[in-house]
Amino acid sequence: MENINNYIQQNKERFINELIELLKIPSVSADSAYSQDVIDTSEAVKISLEKAGCDKVEICETNGYPIVYGEKIIDPNLPTVLVYGHYDVQPPDPVELWTSPPFEPVIKKTDIHPEGAIFARGACDDKGQMYMHVKAFEYMVSNNCLPCNVKFMIEGEEEVGSVNLKTFVENNTEKLKNDVILISDTGMISNQQPSITTGLRGLSYVEVEVTGPSRDLHSGLYGGAVANPINILSKMIASLHDENNRITIPGFYDKVEELSLEERTEMAKAPFDIEDYKKALDLKDVYGEAGYVTNERNAIRPTLDVNGIWGGYTGQGAKTVIPSKAFAKISMRLVPNQDWEEITELFTKHFTNIAPAAVTVKVTPHHGGQGYVTPIDSIGYQAANMAYTETFGIPAIPVRSGGSIPIVALFEKELKSKTILMGFGLDSDAIHSPNEHFGIFNYLKGIETIPLFYKYFVELSK
Ligand code: BES
Ligand code: MN
Ligand code: MN
């Protein structure tokens, strides 16, 4: 496949420009103000799949945003790769912290990306990484070297929990039948050291509401005599971790799988510099569960984090008030074997139990999903590793990631196939943050590496 590098050299301007066009559409799934843009993006993805060489592309309507499905079946006897990705993006807020507007993509050089990186919301998560697959496919079709069947399933609701995709997958198991699922929606260690994500954490996301008095009160007239919901909520949240930073919800750790010393030793071999880590985040020190190092805390251990907290007066100046209500959004990252619905229940029970009689508590579950781990002795993993070894010159390291793609566990349950997570992003690419970007190197390296995965997967499947 020596042609791929020529093909990339000849077409790279176009590859970059096409991605830039896709990034200009603000497909924010969480905010209904953008709903037409999300729909427009699904159309753009459909057209790109048709142009790249799919025989059939459909917009599959759901109760939410559409799923774009495309396929090229060259021989039913050959293996089938199912590519999953998402065309929706996170909200760009806080917009004022972007150095260039989030939906006006620009290429800028950074220390980590001396060849330049495309700055835009969704550049890395996941439009850029999804589009690598479209371009790799285009190459294989136009150069007559597609070695197997391909199905694409690109959704528009990943960032809001993939609720409708779940139904779609359950109802279309035959259509989506495959031998391996390939996803680029994770990261790798560095541009010099590729890695393959072998685990994702599960997620339980809840919102809590604490109500004290039925109306806002004067904090002088009533202060000290009634429960202040913000004070109470803060206390309740603080009590959810103990002095070792372990979560205090009864039963929370019951199903957590403890890794063996061998596995932990293996994990510790991945290159990681704690000083660089602190420096990159301007931290004086790291923080987390006692008995575990940073790369364990953010990958193999479950967590509980407040994602947002509000209530009372936050405008200019001072207003003396005891608010009627206080709110928080809380996420729990889970590890394999922890069931997200069970954890949501444990949380709800505990949080309601610890509330003093002076307030009422309401817990509203949002979305969630199970964690995932995949073995490294599968054909899919081996094929991915061979592909990385060829394009990076060194083998990939298996890494468990702290992020979540809840639909991956569902794929395994419904479609009975393993997912290979070939991520080309970097942790420093600022996904979900202001100034998200995706390295040109990473984008093109992805396009170069993906066809090799196909080649080796088909070879190893024989
Ligand atoms: N692509 C990310 C997940 C990710 C990023 C996994 C980097 C591993 C490394 C995905 O789009 C995402 O943001 N997932 C959400 C969960 C979803 C239910 C909103 C997450 O992890 O917060
Ligand atoms: Mn993503
Ligand atoms: Mn995301």
pLDDT, tens digit, for every residue of 27-36? Answer: 999 999 999 9
- Identify which of 27, 126, 158 to mutate to test ligand 1's pocket (most ligand atoms within 8 A of the CB): 158
Ligand showing the shortest atom-to-Cα distance for residue 406: 1
Q: What is the CA radius of gyration of the chain?
A: 23
Residue 2 has a pLDDT of 55
Residue 115 has a pLDDT of 96
Whether 186 and 421 have beta carbons less than 8 Å apart is answered as yes
Residue 266 has a pLDDT of 87
CA 134-140-142 angle, 5° bins: 95
CA distances from 270 to 113, 261, 263, 295, 462 (A): 21, 15, 12, 9, 32
The span from the CA of 134 to the CA of 122, in Å, is 16
CA atoms within 13 A on the CB side of 335: 17
Give pLDDT tens digits for 420-461: 999 999 999 999 999 999 999 999 999 999 999 999 999 999
Atom of ligand 1 nearest to the CA of 421: 8
How many whole angstroms from 159 Cα to the centroid of ligand 3?
5
What residue spans define the domains of the chain? 4-200+371-461, 202-256+302-369
Beta bridge partners of 71: 56, 151
What residues does ligand 1 touch, defined as CB less than 6 Å away?
125-126, 158-159, 161, 185-187, 200, 203, 367, 401, 403-406
How many whole angstroms from 422 Cα to the centroid of ligand 1?
14
The count of other CB atoms within 10 Å of the CB of residue 462 is 5
Residue-wise burial string across 335-363, b where 16 or more C-beta atoms lie within 10 A, e elsewhere: bbebbbeebbebbbebbeeebeeebebeb
Give nearest CA residue, ligand 1 atom 10.
405
Residue 392 has a pLDDT of 98
Domain 4-200+371-461 has CATH 3.20.20.140: no
Give nearest CA residue, ligand 1 atom 4.
403
Residue 224 in tokens: 């000290």
Atom of ligand 1 nearest to the CA of 161: 18
The count of other CB atoms within 10 Å of the CB of residue 133 is 25
CA distances from 351 to 232, 250, 354 (A): 12, 11, 5
Give nearest CA residue, ligand 1 atom 13.
159
Which CATH architecture fits 202-256+302-369? 2-Layer Sandwich (3.30)
Give nearest CA residue, ligand 1 atom 9.
186
Ligand showing the shortest atom-to-Cα distance for residue 196: 1
Mean pLDDT of all residues belonging to the chain: 97
Residues of the chain scoring pLDDT < 70 = 1-2
Residue 140 has a pLDDT of 98
**SS3 at position 389:** helix
The amino acid sitting at 407 is I
